[in-house]
């Protein structure tokens, strides 16, 4: 799949639609603890927006938006955010991933939000990275 779509309707609609898809993905991640959703679902929606752009505008569009290094770094960074929050809880004197000791008003809620963001980053970068690797074959 090395050619881009020549249909102006497809490219225009995908380009106009992408910001709204990404906004919805961010909403799903940030509202994961008060409505259905979460890091996995929101990350998949975010990745879908970039994959949609790649299908419409050609695979080079992913390369313009993410370098190899940034994609791999984001994939690792999400796991790192998650695991380091657990280590932070350890350092504050509680069990691993026991958010109750975090210095916030509703610590367990905030802890969940932080790890959902980490999960979202990892899922988004992993799906885009896999898609980009598979595109070469």
User: For binding to other proteins (CB under 8 A), which residues are involved?
Assistant: 32-36, 38-40, 67-69, 72, 75-76, 78-79, 82-83, 86, 96-97, 99, 106, 108-109, 111-112, 115-116, 118-119, 122-123, 125-127, 129-130, 133-134, 136-137
Q: Cβ of residue 52: shortest distance to other proteins, in angstroms? A: 19
Q: Name the burial class of residue 95, with classes exposed (0-12), middle (13-18) and buried (19+) by CB atoms within 10 angstroms of its CB.
A: exposed
Dihedral Cα 41, 44, 45, 49, nearest 10 deg: 180
| Between 10 and 97, CB nearer to other proteins | 97
Q: What angle do CA 29, 122, 23 make, to 5 degrees?
A: 35
| Between 14 and 117, CB nearer to other proteins | 117
């Amino acid at each position: 799949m090395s050619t881009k779509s020549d249909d102006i309707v497809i490219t225009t609609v995908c380009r106009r639609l992408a910001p709204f898809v990404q906004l919805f993905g961010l909403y799903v991640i940030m509202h994961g603890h008060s409505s259905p959703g979460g890091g996995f679902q929101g990350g998949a929606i975010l990745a879908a927006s970039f994959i949609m752009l790649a299908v419409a505008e050609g695979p080079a569009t992913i390369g313009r938006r993410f370098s190899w290094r940034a994609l791999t770094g984001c994939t690792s960074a999400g796991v790192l955010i998650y695991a380091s929050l657990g280590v932070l809880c350890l350092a504050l004197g509680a069990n691993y991933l026991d958010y109750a000791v975090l210095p916030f008003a509703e610590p367990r809620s905030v802890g969940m939000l932080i790890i959902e963001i980490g999960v979202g980053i990892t899922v988004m970068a992993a799906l885009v990275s896999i898609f980009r690797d598979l595109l070469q074959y």
